Amino acid sequence: MIRVAFFDTKEYDRAAFAQYDDRSLLAFKFLETRLTEDTAALAKGSDVACVFVNDAVNRAVIDRLYANGVQVIALRCAGYNNVDVKYAFGKLRVVHVPAYSPHAVAEHAMAMLLTSVRRIHKAYNRTRDFNFSLNGLTGFDFYGKTVGVIGAGKIGRIFIDICRGFGMRILVYDKYPAGDNLEYTALEKLFACSDIISLHCPLTDETRHMIDAGAIAGMKKGVVIVNTSRGGLIDTEALLAGIKSRKIGAACLDVYEEEADIFFEDRSGHILNDDLLSRLISMPNVIVTSHQAFLTEEALNSIAEVTVNNIRSCFVNSGRCENELCDRCGRIGQ
């Protein structure tokens, strides 16, 4: 029997994975706590530690998991910037879910964008108070505007297809352009020409704070920035400065670089100690959602299926897993 300890689990995680908890091959233990150095001991006796985006799988955690008999780290997400994959090599195998429902994330990015530009959230709040004034609700057409898409992976391409449906011009920056019919361009040109910029790339040492003060200075006045990838892609202080100076017209953020101790929890009864996030949320032209772009029934079911198949592959199917991340196989950073 393969014993799996799930960290940072919510009700929707349990519901999605319940169908695979048959006790004949897999036995699940669901933990609400995040994986840290202090909680790694909870995985003792388990073969697999199943983790999510805000679990900290650094060197110390990897050593403690390894000492407690864990053999595999199974990410139930695509990104793995929170895992020291290189250090894990030779100790723990690391697998991830490279594509669960790219449509879910791309559609959420467009939903946030539409909400922001057409002031739907403001109209909703007004009409609940029987205020039917249209003052201050003027938006702009998407048709004919230029959208800059950073990252032309599966999610980025679906977002591009959605933008095409609105009749938008699309500029694309990708470190590895595919040579297809997309209009690839340099990052500086994308910043300078785009009315809207949407981020769909992984967080690496190279991409961290790719949206900083210098990048913002090169953007069009009134640009709208959308981020459904990783919070660390944007320098939050630079973003706030750009908003205050009216350089940035709006920001739609499903992620935040210091979200680990905040997102996925009900903080409504507490004082938020994060001043940067408090200031962001207070801005009338900023929409923040709490890393929910992935949250559809289809995506959750796909995550559960692929995660379980990854685990089975590591222990049953000749020990091979196509979704394994390792230094030796060259998948780091790709």
Matching fold, domains 2-100+297-325 and 102-288: yes
Q: What pLDDT is recorded for position 317?
A: 67
> What's the CATH superfamily of 2-100+297-325?
NAD(P)-binding Rossmann-like Domain (3.40.50.720)
Radius of gyration of the chain (CA): 21
Query: How many Cα neighbours within 13 Å face the side chain of 131?
Result: 11
Superfamily of domain covering 102-288: NAD(P)-binding Rossmann-like Domain (3.40.50.720)
Question: Which residues are the active-site residues?
Answer: 230, 259, 291
Enumerate the domain spans of the chain: 2-100+297-325, 102-288
Answer yes or no: are the C-beta atoms of 63 and 84 closer than 8 Å: no
Q: Which residue has the tokens 């961290």?
A: 208
Q: To which H or E segment does residue 29 belong?
A: strand 26-30
Instruction: Please report, in tens digits, the pLDDT of each residue of the chain (334 residues total).
Output: 999 999 999 999 999 999 898 777 899 999 999 999 999 999 999 999 999 999 999 999 999 999 999 999 999 998 899 999 999 999 999 999 988 889 999 999 999 999 999 999 999 999 999 999 999 999 999 999 999 999 999 999 999 999 999 999 999 999 998 878 899 999 999 999 999 999 999 999 999 999 999 999 999 999 999 999 999 999 999 999 999 999 999 999 999 999 988 999 999 988 999 999 999 999 999 999 999 999 999 999 999 999 999 999 999 866 779 899 975 554 544 3
For residue 226, the one-letter residue type is V
